[in-house]
Structure formats: C-alpha cells, structure tokens
Chain A
C-alpha cells in the first residue's frame, strides 16, 4: 500500500501499525514523538494497535527545545 510519511510517498506492506512505522522510519526519540494520521493525533497508547491503510498521511512531530 502507498502512504505519505512527512510529505513523502512511501510503499509499505498492508497491516503496518504506527509502532512499526516508527521503527522502520528510524524515528528519533520514539518515546516522545507525536504522531498524526490524516490530521488527527494518534494516542500513544494505541500506537501498537493503530493499523495504517492505503492513502494515509502520517506526520511525526518532534520536541525541539533549543532557542537561546
């Protein structure tokens, strides 16, 4: 299936969960990443069970604490 990850089209096998995608995409500090699918936030507790489907748009949002 085709999904969009951070604006980029990607091909993944059916049945992919948010947790697996985080692993495959080598997400930095995965325990603190915020994930949205089709402009809805996904609760961290459901990362393991949330199955992605064809056409989904996934975004990873990261903490950035610097500034001074």
Chain B
C-alpha cells in the first residue's frame, strides 16, 4: 500500500529520517500498540504514538477523568471531567490524527481479561499506577511473548525498561514480588511532578516506535532512571534474563496469572 500525498506530508519529518523513511512509516501505520492506563504515562505516550501514525492504538482504562488528573494527564481537558478516560483519550488522539484507529476498553486489567486484551497487539505500554497491575502485565506479556515497556514514576523520579520476552530480563527478574500494600508510596500519597509523566511516557513511546521500526538500541537489559532534582539520567545494566526468575526462566514456577491485592493505589483518584 502506497502512502497518500496527505500521509507523505503529515509524516514528512519521519520519512526524511534515514532510520525511518517510507519503509518505517508504513510499518508504523501497520502496527498495533496497546496502552494500559490513560494517565500520567499513558497520556503522553498515546499522544505521540497517535501523532506518529501508529495505525491501531488500544487504550485500556476503567476510570473517569478527575480534576486532580489534569495536572499531568495532558490528553484530557477540563471539559472532559467526568468522562471515561479511554473515551476522552481516544477523542484527542482521533482529533490529532484521523488516519489511525483507536480501540477503547473500559476496564481494568485482571488475570481473566489481560491475555485477550494483549493478544492482537504488537507492543504493550504499561502506564498503570499500581504494583498488582505492573506484575500482571509483566507476567501476561512474558507468557504471551509480547514485548512491552514498563515504567514507574514518583515525586521527581521515574524509570523504565523494555522487556522482550526470551531476549532480556523481565520486571520480575528485578523485583521478585510486589511489595506489601502501602509499603511503598503511591503518587497519590507521595505526589508526582506532572512533567515526569511527560518525560517517561514519551520515552515509552520512543521505545515502541524504535521496536516497531527496528531502529536503534532498545532498553532491553537496562533500567533507565531519571532524577529530575539532580537532572540526571542513569542507565543501569541488568543481569541476563531468567536466572532463577519465577516467570521468565526456562523452568518457571509461576505459570498462571495472579491477581495481587489491588489496594496499593485506590481505584479512584
């Protein structure tokens, strides 16, 4: 399928990049990315992936837009308060780029629905705000061999890694189990600087675009951390995959998805 004149114009700044070109842009248009959580991380990721022309983007979120979200969740506006986040996000994405298809899922991921949700997508972005969801996404993606971007933000700090099951370490290689509820503060309890979602969520979009177009080096095997107060990025090299990992080793002890207690972050916030 050849690009239309309008597409050549819309994506001209991509096409002129030798690493992307018409070939890479076509790949993006044929790609499917699922964003779980339309909040601080998911909002910038969704905006950039929509603008980039990722052909199909799914947004999973059961929550509605709240006034306290608008300090960082830049895909929603004041007029969207009370609207479903996935719907509000989809409207903004379609307004930016009518060229793409946006699928909305008004639900929270759990062990029952996640495998079906990720099944048709090429790359998953974890934009959730709690450990049960982050471990669930990791385990489901490892089991289904789906590449994904993991990220977390708190206060003035953020971090992310890219997991390609079978190639590099997974989230559970670093952290064996979720911390007990309320042992590690959430953004609601501890706060988060709004632009942090912009920095880390945009990096997640960057990893997705690089993966989909086969460009450059991914954060597979690395955890990239960012400290805004010190204005420092630090790239931590991780040990190789699966050495004793409960889910991604060659002899995993976890073979079924687990719903950990969902009290680490309250559902409504």
Contact = CB atoms under 8 A, between A and B. Distances in A.
Interface of A: 6-7, 29, 31-32, 34, 36, 39-41, 59, 61-68
Given A64-B153, A66-B40, 13 more contacts: A6-B234, A29-B183, A36-B238, A40-B239, A41-B174, A63-B184, A65-B130, A66-B129, A66-B153, A67-B41, A67-B187, A67-B197, A68-B73
A66 to B, nearest CB: 4
A61 B174 CA distance: 8
How many B residues are at the interface, by size bracket? 35 or more
B159 A64 contact: yes
Contact of B179 (A7, A40, A63, A67): A63
Given A65-B265, A66-B152, A66-B154, A39 B183 contact: no
Contacts of B185: 65
B63 to A, nearest CB: 8
Contacts of B236: 6, 36, 59, 61
Interface in B122-166: 126-131, 134, 151-154, 157-159
B203 to A, nearest CB: 13
Contacts of A40: 239
A64 B190 CA distance: 11
Contacts of B39: 67-68
B175 A65 contact: no
A22 B269 CA distance: 33
Contacts of B126: 67
Given A7-B234, A29-B183, A61-B174, A67 B239 contact: no
B159 A68 contact: no
Contacts of B159: 62, 64
Q: Top 6 closest A-B pairs, CB basis?
A: A64-B152, A68-B39, A66-B187, A68-B129, A67-B129, A67-B41
Given A32-B183, A34-B175, A65 B152 contact: yes
Interface of B: 37-42, 63, 73, 126-131, 134, 151-154, 157-159, 173-175, 179, 183-187, 190, 192, 197, 223, 234, 236-239, 243, 264-265, 269
Contacts of A61: 174-175, 223, 236
Contacts of B265: 65-66, 68
B151 A29 contact: no
A67 B150 CA distance: 10
Given A65-B184, A65-B186, A39 B238 contact: yes
Contacts of A34: 174-175
A68 B60 CA distance: 12
A36 to B, nearest CB: 6
Given A6-B234, A32-B183, A41-B239, A64 B174 contact: no
B129 A65 contact: yes
Nearest to B184: A63
Contact of A64 (B158, B173, B234): B158
Nearest to A41: B239
17 contacts: A6-B236, A34-B174, A36-B239, A39-B238, A59-B236, A61-B174, A66-B152, A66-B153, A66-B186, A66-B187, A67-B42, A67-B153, A68-B37, A68-B41, A68-B42, A68-B127, A68-B128
